[in-house]
Amino acid sequence: MDTTTPLAPQRLRQVKASYTTRYVSAAVEASADGYHLLSGPDVVPAAGDVVVARVTEIGKHTRLESPVSRRQLLFPGDEILLAYGPRYAPDQFLAEVPSDLGPCDLVAAGGLAGTVIEQHASIDCPTRIEPLGLLADSRGVVTLADHAPYSPDAPRATVAKEPLVVGVLGTSMNSGKSTVLASLVNGLTRSGLVVSAGKATGTGAGNDANVFRDAGALRVLDFTDFGHASTYRLDLDEVKATWTALVDQLALDGPDVVVVEVADGLYQGETAQLLADPAYAGRVDAVVFAAQDALGAAAGVRRLRELDLPVVAASGVVTASPLAAGEAHAALAGTGVPVVDTYDLCLPGVGLELIGHAGLEVGAA
**Whole-angstrom distance, CA of residue 50 vs CA of residue 143:** 5
Question: How many Cβ atoms sit within 10 Å of the Cβ of residue 104?
Answer: 25
Q: For residue 157, what pLDDT is reported?
A: 79
Q: What is the CA radius of gyration of the chain?
A: 21
**325: helix, strand or coil:** helix
Question: How many Cβ atoms sit within 10 Å of the Cβ of residue 99?
Answer: 9
Q: For residue 156, what pLDDT is reported?
A: 84
Q: For residue 355, what pLDDT is reported?
A: 87
**CB under 8 Å to 351, separation ≥6 — which residues?**
184, 187, 188, 191, 345
**Whole-angstrom distance, CA of residue 318 vs CA of residue 339:** 9
Rounded to an integer, what is the distance from CA 326 to the centroid of its chain?
31
Q: How many CA atoms lie within 13 A of 136 on its CB side?
A: 18
**Whole-angstrom distance, CA of residue 70 vs CA of residue 109:** 11
Q: DSSP character for 143?
A: B
Q: For residue 365, what pLDDT is reported?
A: 40
Return per-residue pLDDT of the chain as tens, 365 residues.
689 999 999 999 999 999 999 999 999 999 999 999 999 999 999 999 999 999 999 999 999 999 999 999 999 999 999 999 999 999 999 999 999 999 999 999 999 999 999 999 999 999 999 999 999 999 999 999 999 999 999 888 788 889 999 999 999 999 999 999 999 999 999 999 999 999 999 999 999 999 999 999 999 999 999 999 999 999 999 999 999 999 999 999 999 999 999 999 999 999 999 999 999 999 999 999 999 999 999 999 999 999 999 999 999 999 999 999 999 999 999 999 999 999 999 999 999 999 886 655 544 44
| Amino acid, res. 157 | A
Question: How many Cβ atoms sit within 10 Å of the Cβ of residue 102?
Answer: 10
Supply φ then ψ for residue 71, to 5 degrees. -85, 105
Q: Which stretches of 131-206 are DSSP H helices?
A: 144-147, 177-190
| Amino acid, res. 37 | L
Q: For residue 158, what pLDDT is reported?
A: 82
pTM score above 0.85: yes
Residue 72 β-bridge partners: 64
| Amino acid, res. 156 | R
**Whole-angstrom distance, CA of residue 3 vs CA of residue 159:** 49
Q: DSSP character for 88?
A: E
DSSP 49-102: BEEEEEEEE--S--EEE-TTS-EEEP-TT-EEEEEE--EE-TTSEEEE--SSSS
Q: How far is CA 219 from CA 29, 117, 194, 209, 350, in A?
A: 25, 36, 10, 10, 22
**61: helix, strand or coil:** coil
Q: For residue 357, what pLDDT is reported?
A: 60
**95: helix, strand or coil:** strand
Task: Give the number of residues written for the chain.
Answer: 365
Rounded to an integer, what is the distance from CA 249 to the centroid of its chain?
16
Q: For residue 359, what pLDDT is reported?
A: 59
